[in-house]
Structure 1
Amino acid sequence: MAPQKPLPHDLLTDILLRLPAKDLVEFRRVSKAWLSLICSQKFNNAYLKYSSARRLVFRSYNQLYTCPLWLKPGQHEAVPFGFVREHGRIRLVGSCNGLVCLVASSLKESIVLWNPATRKHRVIDVSPKNYEFFTSFGFGYDPSSDYYKVMRVCMEEKPTLATYSLRNKSWTTSDWYHGRVHHHSGVLVNGALHFKVQGRYKRDKCGVVALSLATDQCSRFALPVSFDERDLDWARLGVLGGCLCLYIGRYSTNVWVMKEYGVNESWTEVASFSDDDDAESDHIRFFPAEPMCVWENGDVLIDNDSNMISYSPYDYGKSFGLTEVKDVQAIDYSESFLSPHLDLPQT
């Protein structure tokens, strides 16, 4: 039998772009040619654009799990990641182009870039462990410079902003004058990382500081006019439909979206629900609770300190929970084959 001719490169690429990431991880072993194709920067960029599949990664105690974005009971699986077990408590910072950024704390804080699809990771040592609970991190990508950056706002006696460029492998530090940053991580929208802040003085209002990844310049946005500043500890920033959003979970859950970026008057409440709305739910008491993510269909992932609950305010209050996971934190990510060693040449 005559040997079969290899598929044309363009046809092979088109086929591979349609496959799940877990299959492509295995297909890298088929041949050196397939390995080179799947690991190339060009293929990875196309895969990020072509694939709409997103997944959830969440931490329960010090174990990491991944599952489909539309969380269902029993679909989550533990991810082997020995680094976590060896380096103490972790917190998830954010994701960008398939890379998940997390902070591990043992004798020192370490920033870890991790690709859940390829299971590859890279460690960036930061400093001795002094400010774990007074430090906020953010992670993002600036397409204008093709740089990935990690930003660290430290609320020490003299607050500082430190920026790490993965291209230059170096830190730059400056003073921080924009108010007290809460411990939640920065949220990436419109090329900037967004942090919720309290004013430096009691008379100052709470707000949102946007830190540009391209220029390192800051701008400040107001929170919705009706926002009660006593709810600041229960509020979290997020992304919904590509827009900056704010969700609050104290006595009820309210979801606000900034429809026009940078325009304070464009804050619009798009969802609101409470325990009284929970007629069809098996989870009787939601509040106080901390919303963790808002999906594109408006469902809200909630941590009420005993369950991780996905709640649908638009579908008669239907919800379900994962009762076996505690002490949770969750973020979503896109699957890709981007190497966490971004300073190395990508083929």
Structure 2
Amino acid sequence: MENQNQESFPSQPNQRLSPPTHELPPISSNEQTQKRNGPESHDVPVQSPKSSRNANLSPPSFPQEIVVEILSYLPVKSLLRFTCVSKSWKTLKSDPCFIKKHLKTDPKFSKKRLLISSGSVQIQGIVSCSLNAIFDDPIVTATTFEDLPQWFVGSCNGLVCIAIGRDAVILVNPTLGVSKMLPDFGFKKSWNSYCYTVFGFGFDASVDDYKVVRIRCYPIRPFEDGYNYESIFEVYSLRTNCWRMILEFPFRIPFRTAAKHVNGSLNWPLFNQPGWFLDTIISLDLAEETCKEVPQPCYGDRASKRSLGVLDGCLCVLCHYGRSYTDVWVMKEYGKRESWTKLVTITYMGVSMYPNKYYECFVAPLFVSRSGEILLQFGMELFIYNPKQKEFSTPRFGPLSEAFRGIYRTEFYEESLVLPTGVNQPS
């Protein structure tokens, strides 16, 4: 008899239970009070037919394109956590179209980070910190990558190229923690103490390919001021995973000068060589694989040392005028001389509090914030220059502050889903 009063469970997983017909649902204490003190019509609440129909409706769903748009704004670590939500979300991390969309969707630069190669004996490896934190946070939090070498070649779309000695090169995505050692070129030629290698790294949009350029500089004959050099250009394609020689030129690029990647081209400054102007800028088009000279602005009188950089995706030049001031020039439209614009003039008065650094100068501008402040490297430290107030400030770092007092090289990268193995590239 006891078993006859128990409810039977469904034999099929999706089968719904029917409400029992032989008894009423249990009455709460509040309902019992209402039954004693109120009219009988208030004993059991009655649900309207309209409410009953809405209760059976499934929750609203967003169109797939809206979901993809929202996800494209998220950082990589969040996207990787969300891959367990559904199969469609899991496939996004390897979808070439979504990877490109994720790269472009960064209006507040939240995905950009700064890599620092430090000479501090207390720091082993490379230090990384958020770009926004440098401008906005009172104390900048930084992390270290202990297994990465410290010689940056360049970065593009979240991939960082790092050179190890004359020939070994690796591509790494610091966000994903994935790296790839490039194969050996196999080019054999005698080396001596005057030979050296220069590298560059960039993206060829015409074929969706990442390319590493290696320039081997050899002395071929001496001239009155030193050796005359021959430079051999070799290019590595991530698509084909092989090296090939493309060019030979009778000039040399300064030792340990990494190329500046702008608009599908790699740009280097040149030494004064016969037939070339002083501090010429040479450009290698990654699609055409041809070299040409980049026109420069009119620097005016008393211009001395110049250095090459990249600001907001544009080629820029720092032109120094002794220890008085430095002009920052930006090429708004790549390759057009008339597009050179003087962005700002930075005086050295703001760094006069560092008398032991009289021999140093501004190395390169690194970034311009939304408010117009400029992050730049002075000697082996970072400074923020406010052009409106003409004042300098220094970012404040936490436990890794020693790393930011002995900077060798800096490189920006952005958090991305691009793999250095090339498996998620478009076919």
**Is 1:243 the equivalent of 2:314?**
yes
Q: Secondary structure at the match of 2:249?
A: coil
Give the gaps of 5 or more residues in structure 2: 1-15, 17-55, 220-229
Larger Rg: 2
> What is the distance in 1 between the residues matched to 2:278 and 2:425?
46
Aligned residue in 2 for 1:331: 411
1:166–1:343 contact (8 Å) kept in structure 2: no
How far does residue 142 in structure 1 lie from its aligned partner after superposition? 1.2
Name the residue aligned to 1:90. 150
Alignment of 1:211-290 (within 5 A): 211-226=284-299, 231-232=304-305, 235-248=306-319, 251=323, 252-277=325-350, 287-290=360-363
Q: Residue in 2 aligned with 1:28?
A: 83
Of 332, 342, 347 in structure 1, the residue corresponding to residue 422 of structure 2 is 342
Q: For residues 258 and 10 of structure 1, do their structure 2 counterparts lie closer, same or farther at Cα, with a shift above 3 Å needed? A: closer
| 1:143-173 superposed Cα distances (whole Å, 9 cap, x missing partner) | 1112211111221234211111111111111
Report how far residue 104 of structure 1 moved.
2.4
Matched to 2:317, the amino acid is L
After TM superposition, list the pairs within 5 Å mapping 1:149-228 onto structure 2. 149-157=211-219, 158-177=230-249, 179-182=251-254, 183-201=256-274, 204-226=277-299
Output aligned runs, 1:8-47, within 5 Å.
Answer: 9-30=64-85, 32-47=87-102
Greater alpha carbon shift after TM alignment, 215-224 vs 250-259: 250-259
Under a length normalisation based on structure 2, what TM-score does the superposition of the two structures give? 0.68
Contact 2:151/2:164 (<8 A) preserved: yes
Name the SS of the counterpart of 1:181 in structure 2: coil
Shift in alpha-carbon separation, 1:113–1:6, aligned structure 2, 3 A: farther
Match of 1:301 in 2: 376
Structure 1 residues 19, 274: closer, same or farther in 2, change over 3 A?
same
> Aligned AA for 1:268?
T
Supply the AA of the counterpart residue of 1:60: S
Q: Deviations over 1:4-62 (max 9, x none)?
A: 89865334323322222232233335555432222321211111122232222222245
Q: Alpha-carbon deviation of 1:277?
A: 4.1
User: Does the CA contact (< 8 Å) of 1:137 and 1:186 recur in 2?
Assistant: yes
Question: Against the structure 1 CA distance between its residues 50 and 303, is the aligned structure 2 distance closer, same or farther, given a 3 Å change threshold?
Answer: same
Give yes or no for contact 2:96–2:424 (8 Å, CA) kept in 1: no
Task: Give CA-to-partner distance per residue, 1:53-111, whole Å, 9 cap, x none.
Answer: 222222224522222213156424224352x2xxxx53112111111111123xx6321
1:317 aligns to what?
391
Q: For residue 150 of structure 1, give the secondary structure of its aligned residue in structure 2.
A: strand
1 CA distance for matches of 2:244 and 2:384? 40
* C-alpha spacing 1:57/1:131, structure 2 compared with 1 (3 Å): farther
Aligned to 2:116: 58
Are the structure 2 counterparts of residues 202 and 49 from structure 1 closer, same or farther at C-alpha, using a change threshold of 3 Å? closer
1:68 corresponds to which of 124, 127, 130: 130
Answer whether contact 1:283 1:320 (CA < 8 A) is retained.
no
* Secondary structure class of the residue paired with 2:65: helix
Distance 2:66 2:339 in 1: 45
RMSD of equivalent CA atoms: 3.4
| Residues 303 and 131 of structure 1: CA distance in aligned 2, closer, same or farther (over 3 Å) | farther
Q: Give me the whole-angstrom Cα distance separating, in 2, the residues matched to 1:258 and 1:295.
A: 15
Deviation at 1:245, TM superposition (A): 0.7
> Is 1:146 matched with 2:208?
yes
Q: What does residue 104 of structure 2 align with?
A: 49
Aligned partners of 1:193, 1:324: CA distance in 2, in Å?
32
- The Cα shift of 1:340 comes to 0.8
Residues 32, 178 of structure 1: alpha-carbon distance in 2 compared, 3 angstrom cutoff: farther
TM-score, length-scaled by structure 1: 0.82
**How much identity, in percent, do the aligned residues show?**
28
Letter in 2 for 1:27: F
Distance between the aligned counterparts of 1:133 and 1:23, measured in 2?
46
